[in-house]
Chains A and B, each alone.
Chain A
């Protein structure tokens, strides 16, 4: 119990520190949102518009200490303010729309790649030295070291433009109204297929390599020999003795991945023009839309801290050795 309380206090301190950094970091960038509205390509704004805009978005010019206090207050009350670019849309509504798409795309891609990568890693470790192992290891290392943007653009170009099998952008056909009808769901799946496939390619490698390395360390352990000696089948020993123990470090890397889900995968979403949280954050940064940037960074920080806390909890449950500590 004391352990958990100590962890909670630690996480709270980390949260406040992160929230403070989230406030100052965007403001270190040169440029401010009103200037950007003026300089935007095709901007029709004139000098006369400037004063009205400064009055509307005046909160940008208030003294920094005052802004910071207002921000910290909003962090704990949940009132994230209104977007500057999509004024007067509240930030929570803007992020809420994007959240659904990100959870769907990145969430499902993470789960699929975790399951797939872990299984592949387990099998590769069990069959170490064989062709299967070599192929899987090479592919895994390759896919996790090639930059995500390269793989995404290649996929988009080959499958989207050249072959035309998949659409080039959007979460669903823009001519359709969002609803739970079959046409719409089909369109969503069709549009999400390519980004999801790309993400799975990018993520699986990492999980596979980690799992394989964890497993290999264990293969010489006594209890593996014991399991075989008892007469258990190969698969049973592989899964229930070896994999189960190798799972622990993988769980923590899964937790970190889950924590980053709510950051969206910025590269994938921008390349595929997918309206998720990553894309929203990217657009907000370009427009210096401080309320949205702050809101999204807050979500990402909270998600990461919460998932780390859950990992701490789960370790106590998963690893009996810790219970005694």
Chain B
């Protein structure tokens, strides 16, 4: 076909022209989807810098490897020590670290970075300054962070911040608008050798401390605007590493080259139905604030069918009334399943029985269940326009809900309208995704902290319990892991009892790879790290270092 011939001819000419003298190991990656590349490698620009800035240009102090033994892997730091009173933590950098321009990496750079965050709060994307009393240099390689409150989880927050070189950034007039086009970094791939709006290449750091482990010379990042374009590139065999939703992946991707094309989906953010405790409709509110109603609705959600049909079988089922599920199974409290597990499972008969016994019967003869006091319940489920998997999931749920006699319908407003409705709690019922983190403390505090109501959509259900909030605060102030577990168990039990959201599944984080040019990939049989190449996952650095080129 003409199209293929022209593209093949063009590609052949380009490849012939571009092949360097020494065969470099070039990894082709799709880490983010956008319509054009903008040359921005400023690690503090959370939303607009290139996704390969963190971890690959600016290496973290340490990485928490959740999969391979849930342990810390030390990178720039060779060790850290959390004080017994949890009010300070000190990090010791490795000896002999150098920036990519040859200057040494010292404690001065760390202190400088944190003072910088205080000076320019717009850079502080993790709100870490608010937790610090002071940051002091102990010696050339050691820094101590003194905290305002005891906080056992501070390590995760600190290592999420990039460390930048003082000798470059002290001369930057406005770091917020600084695009950092030629970055000086500490990570494995810091040199930008080529940059156009359609493609850029990021190559080896000449002064990388762990150069012996790095077998990839360059990463090539073609600009791909959306999932279908990533799929086209994967199917053609030009991508080595991607993170994208691919429908029917066995047929559309694996079948193209079964020997090399592989994938592994790991559970990630929770997707749950949320009923608005502050629903604008008074009658709906009466039903939503009744735990029996919520439990009944939860038992009417056919999670497995939703996963198989709407999700193509990719997501992992979440029947945990405490919201945690498979992702946090290391933290789960078995009592939750014993006492409340039945409310997370699909059970049509039990749901009907519960609705009947709680008084939700058809009072006015219109065929739909009403409140115990006779007022009607009309539920409108808001789903963002274009999110086809959520729309399909909701349609499946509506089938059973209608069968059970509930008056439900779906509307699909624009994404930004949906988001603002959730933030302002101006909706009835919706689906919501809550990002996962290293510790269940984070999704809990983001969802149930009354101070955050109205600030983000994680608290869209507008439910809180002062005891839970108090326990969450206490959780960060105890060091003993056994004591932490007791508190977390109690929190889970309270949340499970109240069932503030109705979990459906854990979204998969997508990971596709090809063994044609590189081996050493993480997989279900080789769980060395979380290999998702998006910039939410520092573990991708460990994956990069595990790769080896295949002899061509």
Contact = CB atoms under 8 A, between A and B. Distances in A.
A39 B121 contact: no
**Of residues B6, B126, B232, which shows the largest number of chain A Cβ atoms within 10 Å of its Cβ?**
B6
Interface in B406-435: 414-420, 422-423, 435
A165 B1 CA distance: 6
B457 A88 contact: no
Nearest to A165: B2
A39 B416 contact: yes
B418 A39 contact: yes
A261 B34 CA distance: 25
B88 interface: no
**Of residues B10, B13, B14, B458, which shows the largest number of chain A Cβ atoms within 10 Å of its Cβ?**
B10
Contacts of B329: none
B14 A183 contact: yes
Interface stretch (A168-176, A231-239, A317-325): A168-176
Given A52-B46, A85-B48, A175-B199, A275 B10 contact: no
A5 interface: no
B226 to A, nearest CB: 8
B124 interface: yes
Interface in B33-78: 35-36, 38, 40, 44-48
B339 interface: no
A45 interface: yes
B384 A39 contact: yes
Contacts of A87: 40, 45, 47-48, 177
A183 B12 CA distance: 11
B550 interface: no
14 contacts: A38-B457, A46-B446, A49-B127, A50-B456, A52-B46, A52-B123, A55-B122, A85-B48, A178-B197, A178-B198, A183-B10, A183-B14, A275-B36, A279-B35
Nearest to A172: B198
B173 interface: no
Contacts of B534: 42, 44
Interface stretch (A27-35, A113-121, A126-134): A27-35
Interface in A75-100: 82, 85-89, 94, 97
A97 B197 contact: yes
Nearest to B1: A164
A9 interface: no
A51 B127 contact: yes
Given A48-B157, A55-B122, 10 more contacts: A30-B416, A39-B422, A52-B121, A88-B178, A167-B3, A175-B11, A175-B198, A175-B238, A176-B10, A190-B3
B540 to A, nearest CB: 13
A177 B17 CA distance: 12
Interface in A43-84: 43-53, 55-56, 82
Given A87-B48, A178-B196, A39 B419 contact: yes
A288 interface: yes
B125 A30 contact: no
Contacts of B36: 86, 94, 97, 275
Interface residues of A, number: 56
B223 interface: yes
Contacts of A169: 225, 229
Interface string A280-307: 0001001010000000000000000000
A49 B161 CA distance: 12
B380 to A, nearest CB: 17
B416 A37 contact: no
B292 to A, nearest CB: 31
Given A38-B456, A39-B419, A45 B46 contact: yes
B419 A35 contact: yes
A154 interface: no
B170 interface: no
Interface string A165-195: 1111100011111100001001100100000
B417 A31 contact: yes
Contact of A53 (B1, B10, B11, B46): B46
Contacts of B442: 46
A30 B417 contact: yes
A44 B417 contact: no
A146 interface: no
B47 A37 contact: yes
Interface of A: 29-32, 35-53, 55-56, 82, 85-89, 94, 97, 163-169, 173-178, 183, 186-187, 190, 273, 275, 279, 283, 286, 288
B515 interface: no
A267 B124 CA distance: 40
B452 interface: yes
Nearest to A33: B416
Contact of B13 (A29, A85, A183, A190): A183
Contacts of B124: 51-52
Contacts of A168: 232
Nearest to A58: B122
B341 to A, nearest CB: 29
A45 B434 CA distance: 10
A175 B446 CA distance: 42
B214 interface: no
Nearest to B436: A44
B535 interface: yes
Nearest to A280: B35
Given A30-B417, A35-B419, A36-B419, A176 B14 contact: yes
Contact of B38 (A46, A89, A166, A177): A89
A283 B36 CA distance: 12
A187 B417 CA distance: 39
A44 B435 contact: yes
A288 B414 CA distance: 12
Nearest to A166: B3
A273 B225 contact: yes
Interface in B114-138: 121-128
A86 B534 CA distance: 18
Contacts of B422: 39
Nearest to B11: A175
Contacts of B1: 163-165
B291 interface: no
Given A36-B416, A52-B127, A174-B199, A45 B47 contact: yes
Contacts of B47: 37, 45, 53, 87
Given A173-B7, A174-B199, A176-B10, A48 B126 contact: yes
Given A44-B534, A52-B46, A29 B6 contact: no
Given A51-B121, A86-B38, A39 B457 contact: yes
Contacts of A51: 121, 124, 127
B179 interface: yes
Contact of B535 (A29, A44, A47, A163): A44
B536 interface: yes
Contacts of B211: none
Contacts of A190: 3, 6
B48 A164 contact: no
B221 to A, nearest CB: 11
A41 B127 contact: no
Nearest to B386: A41
B176 interface: yes
Nearest to B120: A55
B485 interface: no
B121 A35 contact: no
Contacts of B325: none
B13 to A, nearest CB: 6
B48 A186 contact: no
Given A39-B384, A46-B442, A190-B6, A86 B48 contact: yes
A288 B415 CA distance: 11
A175 B14 contact: yes
Q: Which 4 A-B residue pairs are closest in the complex by CB-CB distance?
A: A31-B416, A39-B419, A55-B122, A44-B536
A164 B225 contact: no
A49 B4 contact: no
